Amino acid sequence: MTDGPGRCLVMGILNVTPDSFSDGGRHDTVEAAVAQGQAMVAAGADYVDVGGESTRPGAERVTAEQELRRVLPVVAALARAGVAVSVDTTRSQVAAAALAAGAVLVNDVSGGLADPAMAPVVADAGVPWVLMHRRGDSRDMYARARYDDVVAEVRRELCRRVDAAMSAGVAAERLVVDPGLGFAKQPEHDLALLAGLDRITDLGFPVLVGASRKRFLGALLAAPDGTPRPADQRDRATLAVSALAAGAGAWGVRVHDVAGSADALRVLAAVGAARRGQPA
């Protein structure tokens, strides 16, 4: 699972939805989505993460049938083009269909809690499974953003999800964990998790960090009158988080702007290789 190019990987976000928080509706035809996925690969994406259901705060669920209609044609077309596709879903039905269409990784923002049948699907397929931390769902997650020590609690809750996945037959080497920035987290929690990311990476599992354009960056970069920085103007801040995450040992970052993070992470990897006396 961790074999790769010797650097933090880049997962490009491809939302084929009308209502995602920063790019909803931009790639809601198959042609537009496939073109965007291919552009991400050309810009340096290692994976393209295709999602057909918004997880923004307050989002209502779509039906499995609607999610499948959005996701499958895009997954299949990108896979045929040789793209390493991950599917961003909490439904085992969608994951199974996407894997059959050529996806090679399942990114589950519920950490396996939304659908108990997800673990057998992933175990049978033998693909990597990203287990993200969250509490509640999009409708009530901020009401559950209460922590005494957010890093310790997220770490502990991720361990529970890992234990449950392995008990269900998923191989340990196929698991990736994600601290879930922005999911049941207030801005101060997100910053604390980034500051304590080494306490997540020391669990021994690959760690995916998804900070791209998130609310805490908008709050951090707010205008003098308190107006948050708009989502589409948070890519430079996201790039800083990508570099911080790589420095803390993250396996990958999940971003909208692939080119910036891909370039930065390659520079960091080259400097690290030079420090170790290895060829870049």
From first to last of its 280 residues, the chain has per-residue pLDDT tens of: 545 677 999 999 999 987 544 554 566 789 999 999 999 999 999 999 999 998 777 667 899 999 999 999 999 999 999 999 999 999 999 999 999 999 999 999 999 999 999 999 999 999 999 999 999 887 778 888 999 999 999 999 999 999 999 999 999 999 999 999 999 999 999 999 999 999 999 999 999 999 999 999 999 999 999 999 999 999 999 999 999 999 999 999 999 999 999 999 999 999 999 998 877 6
Active site residues: 214, 254
Q: Residue 278's pLDDT is what?
A: 78
Task: Look at strands 105-108 and 208-209 and give their pairing.
Answer: unpaired
Q: Residue 263's pLDDT is what?
A: 96
Q: What is the pTM of this model?
A: 0.93
Burial class of residue 168, CB neighbours in 10 A (0-12, 13-18, 19+):
middle
Q: Residue 2's pLDDT is what?
A: 44
Residues forming beta bridges with residue 129, ordered by sequence position: 106, 175
